[in-house]
């Protein structure tokens, strides 16, 4: 009986949770599995993940899900119809366009803005912070003073200044938001770098003859990724609100693009009588922003090194 117990094959869960992994792949999969267990234990984080998966699904299949055209309206017979009237589930706007269809297609713009800003701002902040933290001295001082200059201005005000210089449009709005979003990431990366710069394994790599660039990009940057991922996820809600603010002011996506902030701006004239024109895109912004915040909180708990060490 004892022999049978000792020689029984290891289950998949036991293989993932083994304290003696036989390969690097097994160790990575085990860490990923433990991270997922901590994340899935947070019900609100799972709700946030489902919201964002729903956003991605809606954006991917917008052409199939939208019942009407997002840009062509019916001024003669469908202007400012209330929700549920004549097949318009969320009503219509002042141009006779279906609000639901515009929200569905607007999810593509929202997702595109979020992804592009993250792709541009996060690597810039990560590289600047890691280089400043590892190099130290005058280079650290120069890079951090530049970062402080950007942090001294409110993000929306600075984004407005860049968009005013570049001109209105969704592409310029993305550039402006990305330019104003990287400084917090640089601060986080610098703080993480300072904690590992003098560690034993970095000293060992240095003694083996690795160049500073190799040490930064192969050994320091990966140590900053977990904190950066959490911060980027939590900042997504702010990015959405900034993009909506630019659209509200007419500096973001231009008509007839169904951008949620621009939809709120066009509906503010009817907020008392035709409340749904501005309320529906506001609810969409609220739900998506809440989803990113819940996901960020869950990732913070799951990727916390103190939790990982337990």
Q: Do 299 and 231 touch, CB atoms closer than 8 A?
A: no
Q: How far is CA 6 from the centre of its chain?
A: 47
* Per-residue model confidence (pLDDT) at position 7: 57
Residue 88's DSSP bridge partners are 85
State which residues of the chain have pLDDT below 70: 1-8, 304-310
Q: What is the pLDDT of residues 94-118, one digit of tens each?
A: 999 999 999 999 999 999 999 999 9
Query: 157-162 contacts: CB < 8 A, separation 24 or more?
Result: 159/242, 159/246, 160/246, 160/249, 160/251
* Per-residue model confidence (pLDDT) at position 309: 43
Q: What is the pLDDT of residues 251-265, one digit of tens each?
A: 888 888 899 999 999
Task: State whether residue 98 is helix, strand or coil.
Answer: strand
Cα–Cα distance for residue pair 162/170, rounded to 1 Å: 13
Tokens of 212: 């500073």
Residue 106: CA atoms inside 13 Å, Cβ hemisphere, count? 31
Structural domain spans, the chain: 60-308
- Given the candidates 1.10.3720.10, 1.20.120.1200, 1.10.1740.10, 3.30.470.10, the CATH classification of the domain at 60-308 is 1.10.3720.10
- The backbone region for 257, taken as left when phi is positive above 0, alpha when psi lies in -120 to 50, beta otherwise, is beta
φ/ψ of residue 162, rounded to 5 = -65, -40
For the entire predicted model, the pTM comes to: 0.86
* Per-residue model confidence (pLDDT) at position 8: 63
Pick from 186, 289, 197, 200: nearest CA to 240: 289
* Per-residue model confidence (pLDDT) at position 188: 93
* Per-residue model confidence (pLDDT) at position 32: 83
Integer-rounded Cα Rg, in Å, for the chain is 24
Tokens of 301: 């708990």
Eight-class DSSP state of 9: P
Pick from 180, 192, 183: nearest CA to 225: 192
Residue 98's DSSP bridge partners are 92
Tokens of 239: 């990015």
Judging by beta carbons within 10 Å of its beta carbon (0-12, 13-18, 19+), is residue 297 exposed, middle or buried?
middle
């Amino acid at each position: 009986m004892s022999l049978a117990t000792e020689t029984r094959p290891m289950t998949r869960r036991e293989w993932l949770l083994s304290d003696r992994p036989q390969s690097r792949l097994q160790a990575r999969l085990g860490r990923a599995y433990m991270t997922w267990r901590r994340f899935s234990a947070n019900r609100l984080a799972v709700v946030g993940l489902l919201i964002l998966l729903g956003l991605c699904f809606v954006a991917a299949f917008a052409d199939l899900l939208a019942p009407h055209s997002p840009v062509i309206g019916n001024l003669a017979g469908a202007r400012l119809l209330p929700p549920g009237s004549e097949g318009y589930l969320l009503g219509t706007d002042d141009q006779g366009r279906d609000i639901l269809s515009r929200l569905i297609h607007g999810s593509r713009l929202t997702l595109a803005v979020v992804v592009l800003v993250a792709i541009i701002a996060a690597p810039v902040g990560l590289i600047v912070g890691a280089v400043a933290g590892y190099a130290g001295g005058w280079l650290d001082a120069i890079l951090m003073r530049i970062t402080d200059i950007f942090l001294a201005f409110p993000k929306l005000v600075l984004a407005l200044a860049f968009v005013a210089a570049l001109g209105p449009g969704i592409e310029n709005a993305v550039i402006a938001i990305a330019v104003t979003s990287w400084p917090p990431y640089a601060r986080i990366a610098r703080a993480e770098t300072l904690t590992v710069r003098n560690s034993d394994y970095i000293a060992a790599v240095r003694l083996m003859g690795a160049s500073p660039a190799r040490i930064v990009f192969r050994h320091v940057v990966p140590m900053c990724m977990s904190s950066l991922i959490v911060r980027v996820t939590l900042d997504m809600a702010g990015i959405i609100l900034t993009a909506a603010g630019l659209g509200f002011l007419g500096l973001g996506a231009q008509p007839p693009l169904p951008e949620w902030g621009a939809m709120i701006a066009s509906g503010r004239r009817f907020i008392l009588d035709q409340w749904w024109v501005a309320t529906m895109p506001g609810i969409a912004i609220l739900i998506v922003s809440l989803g990113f915040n819940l996901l960020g909180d869950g990732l913070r708990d799951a990727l916390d090194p103190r939790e990982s060490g337990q």
